[in-house]
Amino acid sequence: MENKDKKYGFSTKAIHAGEEPDFREGATGDVVKPIHMSSTYARKMVDVPTAGFEYSRALNPTRQALETKLAAIENTKYGLAFASGLAAESTLILALLKSGDHVVASDDLYGGTKRLYNQVMSNLGIKISFADANKSENVEKAIIPETKLIWIESPSNPLLKICNIPQISGIAKRHNLILVADNTFMSPYFQNPVDMGADIVLHSSTKYIGGHSDVVGGSIMLSDDILYEKIKYHQNAIGAVPSPFDCFLTMRGIKTLSLRMEKHNQNALAIAKFLEKHHDVEKVIYPGLSSHPQHLLAKVQARGFGGIVSFEIKGDLNTTKKFLQSLKVFALAESLGGVESLIEHPATMTHASVAAEDRAKLGISDTFIRISVGVEDVNDLINDLEQAFSKLKVES
Ligand code: P1T
């Protein structure tokens, strides 16, 4: 079953794509794709590689299965797997851009992506401008003659800003630019940017796709033959590929993606509503709340709102630290998208590499907190938040 098999639903593709039992003579008919650890493949004749496999960096059977599955769940022709989200990003940038090229990006991106552009790619002469992509016209205004690519995250990390993907895709097409959409926060279960006109979708599969906080990975999904060939060539030439075991874990995670996303969504909405009513909370950001400025766009563009809730606590940095350190079920940790609930402080953790003045401009204050809502019993999560809030009162 492949991405062409549009007749199958999401969960069927997530479970079966890339893992059809092998009934060829001598094969064992495994229902789960085996972990092919071999780094190289013997051939009988000099110029005929066995079953197309030569060397595992270029192609590995377990990674090939994952790549088929990735394409199937994102409704694209091709999938490519990498050693991390940033490895996928680096490969994509090096494959498509050269010195002097310019990128327009939405202003609220994962801190590591900003660092990659500002501290690494800038050394190669690749330039970037950031625009508030809440309004698509800001993206168009930032385009200059050297612009080659538009890069968006929707919802963004950590402010959960939503870009109008079809509108921005229209801008990209008018200016002959490539549109890259980081779909990490929605996962392919809730949103498919290529179906809305994006050229390339990118994921940190460390997050929802893997889903269990036990594997670091990245993925790129796309349907354009020429872009695929370029990125695939660089995947091998640069070599930032995942191990076969990582591919196995990622595939195992994908099989329950639909179940997990439904529960993440349900728990996150309940927590967002709880926080919105709480007197110790200044402001809650969750695309599923009608108070979110782009709630209606989120509803049209995606099939769910995801598992990330951001909020500002009343008080100062000390209040924020006290609150974060009082939690018992939530782990104070970077990352997101796993079955367990995580909480973090973007200003000192995930977005510490973003300049303080840029953080201030964006609204990532010292009292800003990001939650990755897991799939635990939601009452336990709410009780944990409540007991941490109550600690603030006792000590103030
Ligand atoms: O961590 P890595 O797998 O390399 O993925 C980078 C990345 C790319 N895009 C988005 C939207 C991300 O959130 C990330 C990684 N983010 C975190 C580690 C975090 O805690 O936000």
Domain CATH for 343: 3.90.1150.10
Burial class (CB in 10 A: 0-12, 13-18, 19+), 264: buried
pLDDT tens-digit map of 233-262: 999 999 999 999 999 999 999 999 999 999
pLDDT tens-digit map of 360-396: 999 999 999 999 999 999 999 999 999 999 999 865 5
| 5 within domain boundaries | no
Over the chain, what is the mean pLDDT? 96
Residue 353 CA, ligand 1 centroid: distance in Å:
13
User: Can you tell me which residue has the tokens 């895709």?
Assistant: 169
pLDDT tens-digit map of 284-296: 999 999 999 999 9
Contacts of 242 (CB under 8 A, 6+ apart): 63, 66, 81, 82, 83, 217, 250
Q: Same domain for 92 and 168?
A: yes
Q: Same domain for 185 and 217?
A: yes
Q: Same domain for 29 and 147?
A: yes
Range of the domain at 296: 257-395
| 2 within domain boundaries | no
Are 9 and 25 within 8 A, CB to CB? no
Residue finishing a domain among 235, 254, 273: 254
* Residues catalogued as catalytic: 57, 110, 182, 207
Rounded CA separation 77/71 (Å): 6
* The predicted structure's pLDDT at residue 174: 98
Identify the sign of the CA torsion 152, 155, 161, 166. positive
Helices and strands (DSSP H and E) totals, the chain: 14, 12
Pocket test for ligand 1, best of 91, 109, 153, 157 (most atoms within 8 A of CB): 157
Rounded CA separation 310/155 (Å): 12
pLDDT tens-digit map of 54-106: 999 999 999 999 999 999 999 999 999 999 999 999 999 999 999 999 999 99
| 308 within domain boundaries | yes
Q: Same domain for 22 and 144?
A: yes
| 367 within domain boundaries | yes
Structure tokens at 309: 């809730």
Q: Who wins on pLDDT, 7 or 332?
A: 332
- Statement: residue 2 has pLDDT above 90: no
Q: How confident is the model at residue 7 (pLDDT cuts 50, 70, 90)?
A: confident
| 38 within domain boundaries | yes
Residue 204 CA, ligand 1 centroid: distance in Å:
6
- Statement: residue 4 has pLDDT above 60: no
Q: Same domain for 155 and 262?
A: no
Q: How many domains does the chain have?
A: 2
Rounded CA separation 79/153 (Å): 19
Q: Same domain for 193 and 333?
A: no
Rounded CA separation 125/243 (Å): 31
Where is average pLDDT lowest: 146-160, 195-209, 329-343, 344-358?
Answer: 344-358
Q: Same domain for 224 and 141?
A: yes
Rounded CA separation 3/71 (Å): 6
SS3 content of the chain, % helix, strand, coil (to 5): 40, 15, 45
Q: How many CA atoms lie within 13 A of 192 on its CB side?
A: 14
Structure tokens at 61: 């059977």
Pocket of ligand 1 (CB under 6 A): 84-86, 110, 112-113, 153, 157, 182, 184, 204, 206, 216, 218, 334-336, 350
| 1 within domain boundaries | no
Q: Same domain for 221 and 85?
A: yes
pLDDT tens-digit map of 212-238: 999 999 999 999 999 999 999 999 999
Atom number in ligand 1 closest to CA 205:
3
- Angle of helix 61-73 versus helix 244-254 axis, rounded to 10: 30
CA 192 to chain CA centroid, nearest Å: 12
For 308-318, what is the mean pLDDT? Answer: 97
Atom 18, ligand 1: which residue's CA is nearest? Answer: 335
Residue finishing a domain among 254, 272, 292: 254
Contacts of 46 (CB under 8 A, 6+ apart): none
Q: How confident is the model at residue 5 (pLDDT cuts 50, 70, 90)?
A: low
Atom 12, ligand 1: which residue's CA is nearest? Answer: 110
- DSSP letter, residue 241: P
Residue 92 CA, ligand 1 centroid: distance in Å:
15
Q: What is the pTM of this model?
A: 0.97
Q: Same domain for 87 and 131?
A: yes
SS3 at position 194 = helix
Are 350 and 370 within 8 A, CB to CB? yes
Pocket test for ligand 1, best of 89, 201, 207, 344 (most atoms within 8 A of CB): 207
Residue finishing a domain among 254, 287, 319: 254
Residue 136 CA, ligand 1 centroid: distance in Å:
24
Q: Same domain for 250 and 264?
A: no
Atom 20, ligand 1: which residue's CA is nearest? Answer: 335
Q: What is the CATH number of the domain that holds 76?
A: 3.40.640.10
| 268 within domain boundaries | yes
Beta strands at 178-182 and 200-204: parallel, antiparallel or unpaired: parallel
Q: Same domain for 321 and 219?
A: no
Q: Same domain for 229 and 320?
A: no
* The predicted structure's pLDDT at residue 247: 98
Across 326-356, b (16+ Cβ under 10 Å) vs e yields bbebbbeeebbbbeebbbbbbbebbbeebee
Residues of the chain with pLDDT > 70, as a percent, come to 98
- Statement: residue 47 has pLDDT above 90: no
Rounded CA separation 147/141 (Å): 11
Give the DSSP per-residue string, 101-159.
Answer: -EEEEES---HHHHHIIIIIGGGGT-EEEEE-TTSHHHHHHT--TTEEEEEEESS-TTT
Rounded CA separation 209/134 (Å): 26
| 3 within domain boundaries | no
Residues of the chain with pLDDT > 90, as a percent, come to 92
Q: Which of 254, 241, 295 is nearest to 272 (CA)?
A: 295
Rounded CA separation 43/60 (Å): 15
